[in-house]
Amino acid sequence: MQNKRIPLATPTMHEGEMGYIKEAFDKNWIAPLGFNCDGFEQEMVDYLGGESPVHALALSSGTAALHLAIKLAGVKPGDVVLCSDMTFVASVNPIVYEGATPVFIDSERETWNMDPVALEKAFAKYPQAKAVLLVHLYGTPAKMDEIEEICQKHEAVLIEDAAEALAATYKGKQCGTFGQYSALSFNGNKLITTSGGGMLLTKEAEARSKALFWATQAKEPVLWYEHKEVGYNYRMSNVVAGIGRGQLLHVEEHKEKKRAIYQRYAEGLVGCPGEMNPYLPETDPNFWLSCFLLDEDCGVTPMEIIDRLNEANIEARPIWNPMNKQEAFAGCDYVTTGDVSVGDDIFARGLCLPSDIKMTPEEQARVIAVIRSCFEE
């Protein structure tokens, strides 16, 4: 049907998820934690692999994972955390939960991720910074060699927000395995989903145990209810973990479909005044969302294209509105390498294109035709 809605990104379910869910029902194991959580964690560890094994903890959201990562990093009230500026607000909120101060770091143009030069500049200004919270934007790996070197030099804890970057690799190494603590998200629009949910990754078994303690209301290991610390209800349900186990079986399939969507856009938009979201040759993104950056002074704005697509029943979105522009964080410092904010410029000229893996090539051709029509008037 010509007017069928084309969404930005929605869950893609398979038959296998129901088997894990049914087992949870059959065993009446519905409550948080359980065999599906255990299985999901181990299967994720097996998938991520690598020379430096990680320990995984299934949680209620990616935000919960980041919050526990911030706590594990020892961030206290008044501390400074250097954070990617171009990201979703969930990357930043956990910093504030702990009473710390986020300092936003501008993007660089080769990946749209945290600029190592701006990060080094920020450490010169804030040598006491406790941690660096790095985001892999839209599933594109950041410049990890430079970022890791800078963090080690300044003895800062690297927290990796890989919420959008499951299955993406940098020089063959999986995103989510670089940081001392890392977070994944399984929100409904991510590469794989549990409907909601997330996962904490850490290189330390003891850190995982501490995070589980906090995530279980910080209940002391005695029969009665005793609490010496403030805790949280951050555990993942045994039911939704079953969805994750079924989804993880298809993670590479989903990634390849995302890659095909990106490539069709790259070919179909040749000649249009702009370019696709970039990535480094030594990386293998998961292409979670395909984006398009308009040339300066091309005569068309992102919102004009988004509106035209919406008229054709096609969903598109602006690029993440950078954190330095958010009223909630007014007064927080923002470090750039020059007079021009790269992140602000990308936001002003960029848009996210429909990237749903159920979108057919014919439907994508319809999207491309609408975009091209914006430059033909």
Q: What is the pLDDT of residues 162-221, one digit of tens each?
A: 999 999 999 999 999 999 999 999 999 999 999 999 999 999 999 999 999 999 999 999
Q: What is the pLDDT of residues 259-275, one digit of tens each?
A: 999 999 999 999 999 99
Do 214 and 326 have their domain in common? no
Final residue before a domain boundary, out of 198, 225, 248: 248
As for how many domains the chain has, the answer is: 2
61 and 196 Cβ atoms separated by less than 8 Å: yes
**CATH number of the domain within which 275 lies:** 3.90.1150.10
**CATH number of the domain within which 191 lies:** 3.40.640.10
CA distance 343 to 87: 10
Do 331 and 201 have their domain in common? no
Is the predicted pLDDT of residue 63 greater than 70, yes or no? Answer: yes
Do 115 and 261 have their domain in common? no
Do 168 and 303 have their domain in common? no
- Is residue 4 situated within a structural domain? no
Do 221 and 292 have their domain in common? no
- Is residue 188 situated within a structural domain? yes
**What's phi and psi for 83, nearest 5 deg?**
-130, 145
- Is residue 5 situated within a structural domain? no
- Is residue 74 situated within a structural domain? yes
- Is residue 175 situated within a structural domain? yes
Q: What is the pLDDT of residues 97-130, one digit of tens each?
A: 999 999 999 999 999 999 999 999 999 999 999 9
First to last CA, the chain: 27
Final residue before a domain boundary, out of 248, 275, 305: 248
CA distance 73 to 56: 16
Q: What is the pLDDT of residues 218-249, one digit of tens each?
A: 999 999 999 999 999 999 999 999 999 999 99
Q: 295 is in which domain, residue-wise? A: 251-373
Give this prediction's pTM: 0.96
> What per-residue confidence (pLDDT) applies to 52?
65
| HSE of 189, CA atoms in CB hemisphere, 13 A | 12
Retrieve residue 103's tokens.
Answer: 């300092």
Final residue before a domain boundary, out of 209, 232, 248: 248
Percent of the chain with pLDDT strictly greater than 70 = 98
Q: What is the pLDDT of residues 20-36, one digit of tens each?
A: 999 999 999 988 889 99
> What per-residue confidence (pLDDT) applies to 13?
96
CA distance 223 to 308: 61
